[in-house]
Structure 1
Amino acid sequence: AKRVAGIKPVLVEIDEGLSELARANAIANAIAAEVLVLDVTSTAEKFAAAGLLPDSVDVVQMNPPFNDASRHRASPDGARAIAHVAAAETLDGWIHAARRILKSGGNLVMIWRADGIADVLAALGRGFGSLMVLPIHADAASPAIRVLIRATKGGRAPTCLLAGLVLNDEADRPSLEAKAILAGEEPLPLAMP
């Protein structure tokens, strides 16, 4: 929000406590963000009542719970478990919510497990195109651990697989590219113009 002028961020969070933390963080950083307490998988009516109408936003950025329940032990803390472990319907529900509120030509940017990329591509096949996929590697010798994906509602361009982003160098320090991105000196390769 600090890097892009003229945006009006609306944050959606299911947990009231985390919503309050987000509000305080926005105030502390002089960001005029609206924070809504809302389940992303809520009905269109609940979204509209909160001010998020169908076909009304330009960009959705999301970090859905993505850990595979069959391979990840959920936290005994219920709120943490909801935030980290994906149910069978999580991915489709979150993407459906994004598709509903995005304008035609709007962009969805999301993170997911690299080993679940087939599921993401299948879910995005309904209503999205012009995908850009950025693999994220812990280090140059390791397979990707995450993928960042940008998808355009109604997009028709072919899918583009970008060169991977390596987070750490051989000495296990942040790579120069990762440091430049985090410092705001360089955009992510899939950043919107």
Structure 2
Amino acid sequence: MAKQFDALSDVLIRFIETQHMFFVGSAAAEGRVNISPKGMDSLRVLGPNRIVWRNLTGSGNETAGHLAQINRMTLMWCGFEAKPMILRCYGSARTLHPRDADFEPLNALFPASHGARQIYDVALDLVQTSCGYAVPFMDYAGERDVLKKWADDRGADGISTYWETRNQSTIDGAPTHILGRQTD
């Protein structure tokens, strides 16, 4: 039932654009595999083999730490509404931090946020669809504003402090480079 493609078609791009959430998977060579749900207005398809998504400050920073070790990422969407389908996009990603020159032009594609932590510029090398027949129907009830309020309440200085105290390493202790690469 699975079908594989070299790139996203217009039909698959429209499917992505109608989804309210997606999942990100990453892993280092050793340690835990991270699968994280993402929502809000945080993803753009920039071409048949290019997706960018903005990572907002949150409890963990696993993806950045994993990509610093092994550059691979999987994005996944599930058709919870009318069309039963699972879409996976496999590829590699550039991690861009606010200090990087390419960050701001891509960040401008999204609503302003104090919590913008990284942008992942994903180059797709495989796209796969599968049936999704076992995925339940779920109704979309709206966006949560908790993360936005949390970041707004802290402001830029509070977010920087959070990065320093909570986002410098993965749960397995790998560096995320949120504050820059350390030199010997």
What TM-score, normalized by structure 2, do the two folds share?
0.26
- Looking at both structures, which has the greater relative contact order when contacts are Cα pairs under 8 Å and sequence separation is at least 6? 2
Select the structure that is richer in helix: 1
What TM-score, normalized by structure 1, do the two folds share?
0.25
